[in-house]
Structure 1
Amino acid sequence: MTFNNKPKPDDRSDNVEKLQTMVENTMENINDANETMQFADGEERAKIAAKNERRKESIQAMKEEIQDESQARQNGFKENNYQ
């Protein structure tokens, strides 16, 4: 049995699209959690609110990464540059 220890090349060609999907999914999670909060008690509401704040921070970080990836794409990003 032979093993291929060579790492796969870094394929960033669809990172923007993946990140946009992640932002959309996280926003849906926030909306779902807000609906759930209506039926939660005080302690559970606080946990949900805190988690939603972390989600909002994550969304901001993902949006910044989208900008970085988009800029890299505009600057002629080539897969071979990151192998």
Structure 2
Amino acid sequence: MAKPDNRADNAEHLQQHVQNTLHNLHEAEQYLDEHADEISATELQDIQEKNENRKNSISKFKSEIKDET
């Protein structure tokens, strides 16, 4: 049986996603700062792309939170 569609806590869940994504973004930036001279060009590019995706996700999450509230 399907669970009922309860959207009462969507904003809270979205806010948690924002917090988690921000944490991952900061962790990656810290990693880049601490290991800048040890990172290959490929790894650097991968991390930078992931961080751009994280920034886009955060923006989308915040927009969804506005829609929910």
Question: Smaller-chain TM-score range?
Answer: 0.7 to 0.9
> Are 1:42 and 2:41 an aligned pair?
yes
Q: Percent identity?
A: 43
Count of matched residue pairs: 65
What per-residue deviation string (whole Å, max 9, x for no partner) do you get for residues 23-72 of structure 1? 011001000011122322221111100000001111111011101111xx
> Are 1:53 and 2:52 an aligned pair?
yes
Q: Please list every run of at least 4 consecutive aligned residues from structure 1 whose deviation after the TM superposition is greater than 3 angstroms.
A: none
The aligned runs of 1:4-19 (5 Å cut-off) are 4=1, 7-19=2-14
- Richer in helix (by share): 2
CA root-mean-square deviation: 1.1
TM-score after normalising by structure 2: 0.85
Structure 1: tracts of 5 or more residues without a match: 71-83
